[in-house]
Structure 1
Amino acid sequence: MNRRRVLAALAGAAVCVGVPGAAGCEREAADRAAPAQGSPARPGPPRSMVRSLPGIGPAMLARIPASARQVLTVIGGTADTNEARAMLYELDPHTGWVPLAGPWPARNGLRGWTDDHDENDLRTPIGVFPLSDAGGLLPDPGTRLPYDQDEAFTASGTGHLGEPLDGAFDYVIAIDYNRVPGSSPLDETRPLGDHKGGGVWLHVDHGGPTNACISMDKAHMLALLRVLDAARRPVVVMGPEAALRA
């Protein structure tokens, strides 16, 4: 993916990491991407370096597909907390995983996290899941994921803290837990059975914990949608800190 496009997509959300301003990000990216004229290309790093991600231990790293070139980490404090931090990384063939955006505040299920999710347990599944499809009530903001705009992406009523849910599904990205990849996030097919839950999405934050989804500010959802690229096989790695460090 063209790094200038990534930086342009993220600049509006003030998410460039490690350097002051988008221009600095572009200079840093150019330095990584192109060796000095007349210099030999730098060899790729050892696999152990390439696969390193802050906060993610060897067991969870081993679950990330080798084809993945974009990773969103969502790390909670403990198994029972419903607030987390999200960070987006992209794989640079020379330097390994490069932070692109974040940390962003995020929310998860009311009762925290689980590695054995069941319908209505109000916990978010722990693990590594592809991000293959997107959609929402609003038009496609310019994502490279398949996008389904549909009036059915309507949230109504109130959340767990009595907050209104209006606008929560303006933009969503399906997390490939118990669903059929390559289908609309609205598809209710559950390969593991209905009792294992489903409809686990990234969506717009409504000011309170979710049933099982991950929610983020609307500006961050927009930035994420504009950067994620199906050709780079994006995944989310999500769970409480102790589980992800294993």
Structure 2
Amino acid sequence: METTPVAGGPVGTTTGRAKPIPPPNRASRLTTLPAATTQVVVVTGDGYSTTYATLETFHKVGGHWVAVSAPLPARIGAKGFSDNHLEGVATTPTGVYSFGPTMYGIGANPGVRYPYHQVVKDDWWNENPNSPAYNTFQHTATNPGGYSEALWTETPAYTHFAVITYNMPPNVATPVPGAGSGIFLHEYSTSGGNATAGCVSMSHANLVSVLTWLDPARSPRIVISPVQNLGRY
């Protein structure tokens, strides 16, 4: 928790003695986050080919990034990370992204701070590059085609999930056909965890802790990268 400065003391102190600067961490290596961002999720793995990742959460206190959670295990795409993700290829796109304005899930709202939509029958994520609604949520009785996902059938993976704004606003003005779609932060699809089709997945308990921590008022971002390349972001 940030403290109120006292007369004669440095900003962020209560006794006139400067707080120690936190040791460097993965968030403190980031240089491209917006000034308004005070929460960040960092997903890293050892090299491009791994399907195993570590997810860490940080918040900004007194101008410095401080770890919120211990490193949490996660899985990524079956073909690892990619700087040039394509539709239908099981890689997880690298980069810095926002979270979509709505969180979703087959289950009831676990207490997230975002607007929440409980998924029902005929809720789809449109993953058809030839559709004008490519890479968006749709409620329709007709399959949008392509790789589109019937969200209500994806249990337990979509019990709860957040949308990572890869190939969608605000990262791009309009989704680029074929550049990839439906990149989510979601629950493991099996009890032990397995590689994904491109999303980031984690255990139910850890996912809920992250989703309920995220606060849209703090402009959170998620950074996805092999650990060796984290400095580029």
Q: Secondary structure at the match of 1:101?
A: coil
- Offset at 1:223? 0.6
- Partner residue of 2:217 out of 209, 226, 231: 231
Name 1:173's counterpart in structure 2.
162
8 Å CA contact 1:57–1:245 kept in 2: the answer is: no
Name 1:119's counterpart in structure 2.
87
8 Å CA contact 2:58–2:65 kept in 1: the answer is: yes
Name 2:185's counterpart in structure 1.
202
Aligned-partner Cα distance in 1 for 2:82–2:212: 30
- Partner residue of 1:73 out of 42, 45, 54: 42
Q: Secondary structure at the match of 2:152?
A: coil
Aligned-partner Cα distance in 2 for 1:70–1:223: 14
Aligned-partner Cα distance in 2 for 1:54–1:227: 20
Q: CA deviation digits over 1:172-207, x for unaligned, max 9?
A: 0110111246xxxxxxx9923230011100000122
Q: In structure 2, do the counterparts of structure 1 residues 126 and 218 end up closer, same or farther at CA, with 3 Å as the change threshold?
A: same
Q: Determine if the alignment matches structure 1 residue 93 to structure 2 residue 82.
A: no
8 Å CA contact 2:86–2:180 kept in 1: the answer is: yes
8 Å CA contact 1:168–1:203 kept in 2: the answer is: yes
- Consecutive unaligned residues of structure 1, counting only runs of 5 or more, are 1-28, 157-165, 182-188
8 Å CA contact 2:51–2:77 kept in 1: the answer is: yes
More strand by share: 2
- Offset at 1:63? 2.1
Name 2:3's counterpart in structure 1.
33
Q: Secondary structure at the match of 2:103?
A: strand
- Offset at 1:150? 1.4
Q: Determine if the alignment matches structure 1 residue 150 to structure 2 residue 119.
A: yes
Q: CA deviation digits over 1:224-245, x for unaligned, max 9?
A: 1211100000100111111213
**Could you tell me the TM-score, scaled by structure 2's length?**
0.73
Aligned length: 191
8 Å CA contact 1:56–1:245 kept in 2: the answer is: no
Q: Determine if the alignment matches structure 1 residue 64 to structure 2 residue 39.
A: no
8 Å CA contact 2:81–2:91 kept in 1: the answer is: yes
8 Å CA contact 2:169–2:175 kept in 1: the answer is: no
Name 1:24's counterpart in structure 2.
none
Aligned partner letter, 2:152: T
Q: In structure 2, do the counterparts of structure 1 residues 212 and 93 end up closer, same or farther at CA, with 3 Å as the change threshold?
A: same
Aligned-partner Cα distance in 1 for 2:111–2:27: 30
Q: In structure 2, do the counterparts of structure 1 residues 57 and 78 end up closer, same or farther at CA, with 3 Å as the change threshold?
A: farther
Q: In structure 2, do the counterparts of structure 1 residues 41 and 233 end up closer, same or farther at CA, with 3 Å as the change threshold?
A: farther
Aligned-partner Cα distance in 2 for 1:177–1:75: 16
Q: Secondary structure at the match of 2:71?
A: strand
Q: In structure 2, do the counterparts of structure 1 residues 219 and 41 end up closer, same or farther at CA, with 3 Å as the change threshold?
A: farther
Q: CA deviation digits over 1:110-165, x for unaligned, max 9?
A: 00011111111211110110123311111111111121111233344xxxxxxxxx
More helix by share: 1
Name 2:74's counterpart in structure 1.
106
Q: In structure 2, do the counterparts of structure 1 residues 40 and 148 end up closer, same or farther at CA, with 3 Å as the change threshold?
A: farther
Aligned-partner Cα distance in 1 for 2:210–2:44: 17
8 Å CA contact 1:190–1:198 kept in 2: the answer is: no
**Could you tell me the TM-score, scaled by structure 1's length?**
0.70
Q: Determine if the alignment matches structure 1 residue 243 to structure 2 residue 223.
A: no
- Offset at 1:39? 5.8
Aligned-partner Cα distance in 2 for 1:40–1:137: 54
